[in-house]
Amino acid sequence: MAEFYPDACAQTLAHLMSSTMKYNLKQNCECVFEGKAKEGQPTLLKEIYTELYITEGGAGGGNDEHEVRQIEMASKKRQTEDTTVKCNDIFKPLCGRKTPIRTVLTKGVAGIGKTVSVQKFILDWAEGKANQDIHFIVALPFRDLNLIKDEYSLTELLHHFAPDLKSFESNELFRYKVLFIFDGLDECRLPLDFQNNESWFDVTKKTSLDVLLTNLIKGNLLRSALLWITSRPAAANQIPPNCVHQVTEIRGFSDAQKEEYFRKRFSDQRLASRIFTHVKSSRSLFIMCHIPVFCWISATVLDCLFSESDRGEIPRTLTEMYTHFLIFQTRFNSEKYMKEYKTKPNKCFESGKELLLKLGELAFHNLEKGNLIFYEQDLTENNIDVTEASVYSGVCTEVFKEEYRLYRDKVYCFVHLSIQEYLAALYVFLSDSSADLLETAVDQALESKNGHLDLYLRFLLGLSTDCSKTLLKRLLGQTGTSSHNIKKITKYIKEQIREDLSPERTINLFHCLNELGDNSLVEEGQRYLNSGSLSAEDLSPAQYSALAFVLLMSDEELDVFDLKKFYRPYKEHCRLLPVVRNSKTALLNSCDLRDKHCEVLASALRSNSSPLRELDLSDNDLQDSGVKLLSAGLRDLHCKLEILRLSGCRVTEEGCSSLASALRSNPSHLRELDLSYNHPGDSGVKLLSAILEDPSCNLEKLNVDHCGECMTRPGLQKYSCQLTLDHNTANRDLSLSGGNRKVTRGEEQPYPDHPERFDDWYQVLCRESLTGRCYWEAEWDGNGACIGVTYKGIRRKGESDCGLGDNDKSWSLDCYLVRYSVWHNNKQTVIPIKPSGSHRVGVYLDWGAGALSFYRVSSDGLTLLYRFTCSFTEPLYPGFYVKINSSVSL
C-alpha cells in the first residue's frame, strides 16, 4: 500500500473530516434492532454482540446447495481445523501470506451476521478501538446502489454517500487510505459486467454505476483503496477471483456462542437455560441456531411460550417454530396498532389474514425469481399498502437509510430468507386447494438443481400436519387438507427416495418426512447401524438412502468408511457416496464406480466442513472424465485431502494434466498420489514429476508403477493373465486338453507319480504363481466345479485338509447348478446370488491389497459374488476341483 504525506493544512482538514465521520458513523452504528424496523427502544450493539465464528473462506466461488444445507454441514466441522479470523482483522494476511490485502470477500448465508459484522467493524473504528490506519470508511450497500439510475463520477458518488467528505477537492481525498464497504452483493441488481465494461481511470468523469463499480473492484480506479465485499455464497462468484485477495467466511455461532447469545439475550438466567436446553434437544432447531437471526426467532417464541401457563406443545420442528413466531408477531402487532381489536375482533382478524396472504404472495413470486429485497413499487404491485406493511415490523422489515437522506425510496426485506420461504409456503398452502398440491411441490423441488425450494417444501409439508393446522386456526381460522393427504404424501416421498436422486435432494426428502412426523426410514437405518451388522444384502434402495442420511447427520465423524462392505451388484451402494463427506478415510476401491459418481466426490472435496483426508478410488473405471471432475474438487482451497489413490482407473495423459493443474492451484495438502496401473505416458509422468519436485507443493510420494497402454482396457480386463494347467498336479481322473487350458473329469489317466499330484481330490493347479493384480476367467460345464487359489504348500496326499477352501492355505468358490458358496479354512458361506444360467466365473486377485474377488460373468457384465480380504504371505496358484461328469475351461 502506498504511503502519502499531505501537507500540514491538508492533514488538519483530513483529521477534522475523519473525526466528523467517526462521530456520525458511531451514532448510526452503536445500536442494533434485532429483526425489527427501527422503532421502540434500541439495544446497544456492544451489549448484545456475540463474536461470530469467522474463518478463512477458501475460494470465492459460488455454492449451489440450499443455505440451510450448508449450515447443516458446517455445524459438523470441528472448529480446531479452521483458521479463525476476528472481525477487525479481516485485512490482515492469513496463513503467513505476505502479499498486501486490497480486497476482501466475506461469504455467509442469509442472516448469518454479515451486516452486523460490518456494523461492528465500523463502530470499533469510529470509537478508535481498531484499524486506525484507515482514514475514512464509506459504506455502499448494494440495496442502496440499486436505486441509482443516473451517471456519476466516483467523486460524486462518494459525496452522495458520505456528505462529510464534500470539503475535499476532487483528487485530494484519494491521498488517504479509504475503505469502501459493499454489503450484500447477492442483493445487487446491476449486471457487474467485468468482461465487457470499458476500462475507466478518471475519478472526476461521469459514467454508469456499473462501470464505476467494476473498475473500482478491478483496481483501475483508486488502486490504493481497501474494499470489503460481503455476499451470500451463491452470488460470490460474480467477482472475478483475480480481483479478490482474501476470502473469509462467516459461519455464525459455534455451539458455545449459541449459549452465550441466549444468556446475553435474557437477564433471567434460569429462563435462558430452559430455552437453550430445549433448542439443544431438537437437532434441526439447534443446527439452525448457527444463524443469529434464527436465535432471535427462537428466543422470541420460547420466551412467550415459557411465560404462558397454558402454552401447549413446545415447537420441535422448523414449521412449528415459524408458525408460533408468526402467531406471536401477529398478536403483538394487533395489540399495538389495531386498537379496534377489542371491539371489532373479526375485522382485525380478517385484516391480518389478508395482509399475511399478500405478504405470502410477494414472498412466493419473488422466491421463484430469487429476489430478497423489495422496493415500494414491488409492494404496490402486490396490492400491499406500505403503511399497513410497516405494522408487521417483525415480519417485513423496513430499512430506510435516513442518515444519508439520499432517496425517498424505502427498502424492504423479510427478516430472514427462511421467513420468506415460510410465508411463501403458507400462501400456497392456503390459496391452492388442488388435490395433488403436495405431490406437485415435491416434484418441483426435486427438479431444482440448486435446491432453492428445499426449505419451502419442508414448510409446505409441515403446514399440512394436524399440529400445524391446530396452530393455524389460532392465526387464520379453519384450514383444509385431510389426514388422508398426509398419508398419501408420506408414501409418495418414500417412493421418490427409492429413485436415483441427487444426494442433496434425497437428504431434503428425509427432512420433509421429519416435518411430517414420519421417521420410520431413519429409525430403520439407525437400527441397522446399532445392530453391528455390516451385511447389506437385505437393504432396500430406500433403506440405503436412509442409512446415508443417518451417517451424514451423525455428530460423530467416521474414521474409516469402507463402501465395499455395502456393495450391491445393482449399485444401490452408490447411494452411500455422500457419506464420504463425513469420513476421514474413504475406501471406495473396487466398487464399480464411474465418472458420473465423481461429481458427488468432488462436492465432498470442496466442502469446507469435510474431515476427508484419504480417498481410495482404485480399480474403478473413472477414466479421464472422472479425474477431471475430481480435479475440480482438488483445486478448491477448501480441499484438505492428503492421500489420493487412483490406481487402475484408466487414467491417461489427459487425466494427469488435470491433476497437475489442480495441484498447482491448491499445493498445500496432497502428500501422496497413486497412479499405478494406468497409462499416463511419458508426458503425464513428466507433468506430475514436476509437481513432486516443486518446493511449493507438498507432494511427497508419486506411484506410477505397472503402467502401460494395456491399462486403458475397461474393467478388470486390464489385469488379464494367461494361465495353463499343470499336469504334474492333476488328479489321475482328470484329463487335460486344449493346450492345457481345459480339464475334464472322467476316465483314469496314466500320469506318472509326482509329489505335487493330488491323489484323492479331483483337483488341478495352474503352473503360474500370482502376485500383484491378476484377473482370469473360467467356465464350468456339467454338474459344477470349485474354483479357487492356494499357496503351493497345500497338502496333496490323503483325503483330509486337501480340498480347495478346506484349509487356511486356500480360498474357493463352489459352483452348483442352483447356487454358489465360498470356502476358506473349512468354513462355508452361502451366497444368495444364483448362477442364472451363467457358468462363467471371473476371479480378481489384488495380492498387495489382500483382496480376492469372485464374479459371475454374463452378457450383463460382472456381478460380484464374494470378496475375501486377508493378508497374503506367499504367491498364489489358481486351482480347480471338478465335479463328476463336469469340466472347466480357462
DSSP structure class, residue 207: B
Domain presence at residue 506: yes
Using pLDDT thresholds of 50, 70 and 90, give the confidence band for residue 396: very low
Phi, psi of 645 (to 5 degrees): -115, 120
How far, in whole angstroms, is CA 750 from its chain's centroid? 68
How confident is residue 776, by pLDDT bands cut at 50, 70 and 90? very high
What is the full DSSP assignment across 195-232? TTSPP---TTS-B-HHHHHHHHHHTSS-TTSEEEEEE-
Rounded to whole angstroms, the Cα distance separating 380 from 277 reads 43
The residue type found at 810 is S
Are 770 and 835 within one domain? yes
> How far from chain centre, in Å, is Cα 646?
23
Which of 445, 461, 479 delimits the end of a domain? 479
Mean pLDDT of 35-47: 57
Mean pLDDT to the nearest integer, 167-176? 73
Final residue of a structural domain among 711, 742, 773: 711
Instruction: Give the DSSP H/E element, type plus range, for residue 179.
Output: strand 178-182
- SS percent in the chain: helix, strand, coil, step 5: 40, 15, 40
pLDDT of residue 309: 64
Is residue 532 predicted with pLDDT exceeding 80? Answer: no
pLDDT digits (tens, 9 = 90+) for 401-423: 323 334 445 777 787 888 889 99
Amino acid, single-letter form, for residue 215 = N
| In a domain? residue 511 | yes
Overall average pLDDT of the 613-639 stretch = 91
What stretches of 395-436 show up as alpha helix (H) in DSSP?
Answer: 417-431
Burial class (CB in 10 A: 0-12, 13-18, 19+), 147: middle
Predicted confidence band of residue 339 (pLDDT cuts 50, 70, 90): low
Tens of pLDDT, residue by residue over 838-875, are 899 999 999 988 999 999 998 888 888 999 999 999 99
| Residue 590 included in any domain | yes
Percentage of the chain beyond pLDDT 70 is: 85
| Residue 563 confidence (pLDDT) above 50 | yes
What value does the mean pLDDT take over residues 736-745? 94
- Same domain for 735 and 701: no
DSSP state of 739: T
Residues spanned by the domain of 676: 489-711
Q: Count CB-CB contacts under 10 A for residue 183.
A: 21
Is the pLDDT reported for residue 73 higher than 70? Answer: no
CATH code of residue 749: 2.60.120.920
**Cβ-proximal residues to 551 (8 Å cutoff; 6+ apart), any chain:** 529, 558, 561, 576, 579, 582
pLDDT digits (tens, 9 = 90+) for 211-249: 999 999 999 999 999 999 999 887 888 999 889 998 888
Residue 653 has pLDDT above 90, yes or no: yes
CA–CA distance, 644 with 163 (Å, rounded to integer): 57
Domain-ending residue, one of 229, 252, 275: 252
pLDDT confidence bin for 347, thresholds 50/70/90: low
| Cα–Cα distance for residue pair 276/292, rounded to 1 Å | 14
Helix (H/G/I), strand (E/B), else coil: 326: helix
Q: How high does pLDDT run on average in the chain?
A: 83
Q: Which of 9-13, 571-575, 708-712 has the lowest mean pLDDT?
A: 9-13
| Position 62 in a domain | yes
Which pLDDT score is estimated for 349? 56
Claim to verify: residue 721 and residue 706 sit in the same structural domain:
no
| pLDDT exceeds 80 at position 726 | yes
Q: Output the domain CATH number for residue 58.
A: 3.40.50.300
Q: How many CB atoms lie within 10 A of CB 697?
A: 19
pLDDT for 731 beyond 90: yes
CA-CA distance, 157 to 155, in Å (whole number)?
5
Largest interatomic CA distance in the chain: 117
The reply to whether 673 and 743 lie within a common domain is no
How far apart (Å, rounded) are the C-alpha atoms in residues 354 and 356? Answer: 5
**Residue 643 within any structural domain of the chain:** yes
For strands 877-882 and 785-790, give the pairing: antiparallel
Q: Return all residues near 539 (Cβ < 8 A) that are at least 6 apart.
A: 528, 547, 566, 568, 572
Average pLDDT over residues 55-78: 60
Which pLDDT value is given to residue 74? 62
Cβ neighbours around 222 below 10 Å, total? 18
| Run of H or E including 531 | helix 520-531
Task: Evaluate whether residue 782 is within a structural domain.
Answer: yes
**Is the same domain home to 739 and 842?**
yes
Same domain, yes or no: 723 and 608: no
**Do residue 660 and residue 612 come from a single domain?**
yes
What is the rounded (10 degree) CA torsion for 441, 444, 446, 448?
-140
Same structural domain for residues 185 and 128? yes
112 occurs within a structural domain = yes
Angstrom distance (rounded) from CA 442 to CA 444: 5
Distance of alpha carbon 418 from alpha carbon 441, whole angstroms: 17
Same domain, 764 and 697: no
Residue 108 located in a structural domain: yes
Strands 643-645 and 614-616: parallel
Cell representation of residue 648:
487402475
- Mean pLDDT (whole number) for 7-12: 68
Sheet of 887-889: strands edge to edge? Answer: 734-737, 742-745, 887-889, 773-781, 840-846, 851-858, 861-869
Q: Classify residue 104 by burial, with Cβ atoms within 10 Å: 0-12, 13-18, 19+.
A: buried
**CB-CB contact of 119 with 87 (8 Å):** no
Average pLDDT over residues 20-25: 89
- Residue 287: the pLDDT is 84
95 and 225 co-located in one domain? yes
Q: Are residues 141 and 164 in the same domain?
A: yes
Tell me which of 45-54, 369-378, 828-837 is least confident.
45-54
Decide: pTM greater than 0.85. Answer: no
Q: What is the model's pLDDT at position 675? A: 94
| Residues 515, 655 share a domain | yes
The confidence score (pLDDT) of residue 48 equals 65
Sign of the alpha-carbon torsion through 575, 578, 580, 582: negative
- pLDDT at position 40: 45
Reference 634, options 665, 657, 609; nearest CA is 665
Cα–Cα distance, 251 to 247 (Å, whole number)? 13
Domains identified in the chain, total number: 4
Query: What is the pLDDT at residue 96?
Result: 58
CATH code of the domain covering residue 665 = 3.80.10.10
pLDDT of residue 406: 44
The per-residue pLDDT for 401 is: 31
Percent of the chain with pLDDT over 90: 40
